[in-house]
Amino acid sequence: MSTIEEELLERAKLQEAVHDRDREIAELRARLATWEDQYGAVPKRDTLFTTVSGREVRPLYTELDRPDAAAADGDDRLGFPGSYPFTRGPYATMYRTRLWTMRQFAGFATAEETNARYKYLLEHGQTGLSVAFDFPTLMGFDADHARSLGEVGVCGVAISSLADMERLFDGIPLDRVSVSMTINGPAIILFCFYVAAAERQGVDPAVLRGTVQNDILKEYQAQHAWVFPPEPALRCIVDMFEWCSENTPKYNPISISGYHIREAGATAAQELAFTLRNGFEYVERGIARGLDVDAFAPRLSFFFDIHNDFFEEIAKLRAARRIWARGMKEKYGAKDPDSWRLRTHCQTAGVTLTAQQPENNIVRVAYQAMAAALGGTQSLHTNSMDETLSLPTEKAVRIALRTQQVLAYESGVPNTIDPLAGSYFVEHLTDELERDALGLFEEIDAMGGVVPGIEQGWFQQEIAASAMRQQREVEAGDRPVVGVNHFLEGSEKLEIDTLKIDPAIERRQVEKMAAMRSSRDDESVQRVLAALTEACRTEENVVPRILDCARAYCTLYEIRAAMEEVFGAYKEPVFF
Amino acid sequence: MSEDRKIRILVAKPGLDGHDRGAKVIASAFRDAGFEVIYTGLHQTPEMVVSAAVQEDVDVVAMSVLSGAHMTLFPRVKELLDEAGADHVLLTGGGIIPEEDVLALEARGIGRLFGPGTATTEAIEYVNEWFQARQSA
């Protein structure tokens, strides 16, 4: 055959293939039209067919919703697990190699009581620790500060100095257990207490594994436990990136968190967009400092909320990985695949728990946990059923942990990687969430970026408006909440035990602080604090200075005050 | 609601707790229901709350406390209101407050405290009824 004949034959084959495909699509359309007639002829339930975020979902998705899925481009959007753009999972083998880390967030009363709870959790098969601090610690106040009155040890554990941190991990080998710490405004200080506590155990910081939340942008947007204004706060975070990349290479110096944004009222798309845009902001700050993006980006970690809408939450995690990978590679020029790989912790949505018929919460949490696993999370906290009433009791925490174990060991969910890939609906939702997030990025960029958006109250107002819409839906009865606006039992009395924090704990903690203060070398305390203030005035990395303060048993508030002298304190723009 | 004037309400977030979703939702709901609403913003001390209440001459102080510090914060604000000669002001609120604490606080002259899952209409109705009863007293 001549070349021309070959070409003609090739072309004919191709045309035939195109015709076949056209015929298939036409056939599919016809069958869909038949189904649509059937669907249209039958009455529907009188309810909202939208996700909890208000997203319209159609009754049926078909191949027609992803016409290009079979094309080469389709592969680009999914890839394989462990390869760019990581839609199908950050690791090639996922739960076949290692299940997600079961990490229950815990902390209450004093370091001693919390230490006992940690040992209890580790004995019951938990595989990582997660520290919940009390409000004074979260805001950078010591237990004996006037502003701490009535709040010491109530919502978490009180940690005011290295002495408390040493007691918190007494008998827990920090070279073997990974520890996550939820602290933001004064994160850099608590991190230094932690490193110093490891040193006291004889543990080399280089082997420390774990995460400090350290995500200040979402504090201004949603969670509101801040200390310093945005610019100095961001400087401290970049100081941590730099110091950790050299000294604690296995430790995550940030957990970029959508959780609190979502809990404050955001929709799934807002959570996704604000979180990732915050993440890119930190990357830009690191690059602006002159750091090599591949030196710090691999240690950036994430934290998402897993809310009620099962498929939207799964799609959200898949979209998050794709958006992050593409941004890091294409926009920020990262070359190391570890910089593209989004790793995340998840927590079931506290805001979905009800005080009414609280045992129902066990079921809500179980569905949410399953969505987290199907979405490919790396670690998970499952909420306890009693968390709208108090801090969880030991029994409630155990049930929450067992929920994860049933999921991991009995359901079969971890056996196959990204099992929902290729679902017309899930892929469509993933694409849609990605598109929504990119649209919100444009809005944020049009305001001049994340910090101007915070200063103008834009994020806060967007989140509050979403919260109000959801409240209206619930109060109108349009959004069913079992036990709250549907299926009431008349008297929704509490039938479970709740945890009570003894008010004497505050007094005991204050006494311990006094003893610690009187046993210190005051001269060295003053010297290291003054050196820290000086470092804040320059461009010097402040981590080594804060570590010196930690080792000298300076308190949280003393260190905060030494920094505040230069940095000032954050004042929120008030509105509602 | 009273035909004379709008009810003035201070929505306050005392203590160090930053969870303001509920405070903002209730503030918006009261405003939509025709109240004059003042919102304090976060991280207020009891002194700051009372000073705002007196300055704004409010009828009601509604505090949102999710931090577990309610047994300290509600009595302290009540005490300071009384000291400031504002004992006519209704101190109410909501948050994560166990029932036995609700009863103990009510016994100390604090108004109704609403828990998670309460409809905003229920709180609005309560304040309206309280105000009408006070007007007719």
Q: What angle do CA A205, A241, A277 make, to 5 degrees?
A: 140
The token pair at A168 is 């918190």
Question: Across the interface, which of B17, B23, B120 has its CB nearest the CB of A475?
Answer: B120
Distance CA B9, CA B1 (A): 13
* Mutation site, B21, B43, B103, interface A, largest A CB count within 10 A: B21
Q: Which residues of A touch B (CB under 8 A)?
A: 135-136, 138-139, 141, 147-151, 154-155, 219, 223-225, 263-265, 351, 354-356, 388-391, 464, 467-468, 471, 475, 481, 484, 494, 498, 500-501, 503, 572, 574-576
Distance CA A16, CA A19 (A): 5
Find, in chain A, the residue whose alpha carbon is nearest to that of B98. A389
What would the pLDDT profile of B10-19 be if each residue is shown by its tens digit?
999 999 999 9
Cβ atoms of A569 and A229 within 8 Å: the answer is: yes
Exposed/middle/buried for A486, CB within 10 Å: 0-12, 13-18, 19+?
Answer: exposed
Residues of B in contact with A139 (CB under 8 A): 16, 43
Q: At a CB cut-off of 8 Å and minimum separation 6, what does A15 contact?
A: none
- Written as one string, the DSSP assignment of A182-220 is E--TTHHHHHHHHHHHHHHTT--GGG--EEE---HHHII
Q: Do A576 and B42 touch (CB under 8 A)?
A: no
Which segments of chain A have a pLDDT < 50?
A: 72
The gap between the terminal CA atoms of chain A, to the nearest Å, is 78
Residues of A in contact with B20 (CB under 8 A): 224, 264
| Model pTM score | 0.94
What pLDDT score does A575 carry?
78
Q: Do B72 and A138 touch (CB under 8 A)?
A: no
What would the pLDDT profile of A564-576 be if each residue is shown by its tens digit?
999 999 998 887 7
Residue B10: C-alpha distances to residues A93, B31, B39, B61, B121 (Å): 55, 11, 6, 5, 17
Q: Report the 10 Å Cβ neighbour count for A425.
A: 16
Instruction: State the residue for tokens 């230490």.
Output: A115
Q: Do B16 and A151 touch (CB under 8 A)?
A: yes
Q: Which residues pair with B39 in a beta bridge?
A: B11
Q: Do A223 and B18 touch (CB under 8 A)?
A: yes
- Phi, psi at residue A183, to the nearest 5°? -150, 140
Instruction: Give the 3-state secondary structure of residue B28.
Output: helix
Distance CA A119, CA A169 (A): 9
Instruction: State the residue for tokens 């009187």.
Output: A518
Instruction: State the residue for tokens 């649509």.
Output: A36
Find, in chain B, the residue whose alpha carbon is nearest to that of A265. B21
Distance CA A482, CA B113 (A): 23
Cis previous bond, A85, omega within 30? yes
Q: What is the ipTM of this complex?
A: 0.90
A51: which DSSP letter?
-
The gap between the terminal CA atoms of chain B, to the nearest Å, is 15
Helix (H) or strand (E) holding A132, with range, is strand A129-132
> How close B4 gets to chain A, by Cα (Å)?
26
Distance CA A241, CA A218 (A): 18
What pLDDT score does A31 carry?
95
Question: Across the interface, which of A151, A355, A575 has its CB nearest the CB of B15?
Answer: A151
Q: Which residues pair with A102 in a beta bridge?
A: A380
Distance CA A203, CA A83 (A): 34
Q: Report the 10 Å Cβ neighbour count for A469.
A: 15
Instruction: Give the 3-state secondary structure of residue A279.
Output: helix
What would the pLDDT profile of B105-127 be if each residue is shown by its tens digit?
999 999 999 999 899 999 999 99
The token pair at A493 is 């009395």
Q: Which of A483-497, B35-49, B74-88 shows the lowest per-residue confidence on average (mean pLDDT)? A: A483-497
Helix (H) or strand (E) holding B62, with range, is strand B60-65
Mean pLDDT, chain B, rounded, equals 94
Q: What angle do CA A21, A22, A27 make, to 5 degrees?
A: 95
Distance CA A263, CA A73 (A): 35
Question: Across the interface, which of B16, B39, B67 has its CB nearest the CB of A574?
Answer: B39
Residues of A in contact with B29 (CB under 8 A): 471
User: Average pLDDT in the B96-103 region?
Assistant: 91
Q: Do A150 and B69 touch (CB under 8 A)?
A: yes
Q: Which residues pair with A348 in a beta bridge?
A: A306
Q: Do A464 and B119 touch (CB under 8 A)?
A: no
> How close B136 gets to chain A, by Cα (Å)?
31
Q: Do A356 and B98 touch (CB under 8 A)?
A: no
What would the pLDDT profile of A111-156 be if each residue is shown by its tens digit?
999 999 899 888 988 778 999 999 999 999 999 999 999 999 998 9
What pLDDT score does A68 carry?
65
Exposed/middle/buried for A386, CB within 10 Å: 0-12, 13-18, 19+?
Answer: buried
Q: Return residues 26-65 of B near A (CB < 8 Å).
A: 27-29, 31, 37, 39-43, 45
Instruction: Give the 3-state secondary structure of residue B60.
Output: strand
3-state secondary structure A461-495: HHHHHHHHHHHHHHHCCCCCCECCCECCCCCCCCC
How would residue B1 be classed by pLDDT, with cut points 50, 70 and 90?
very low
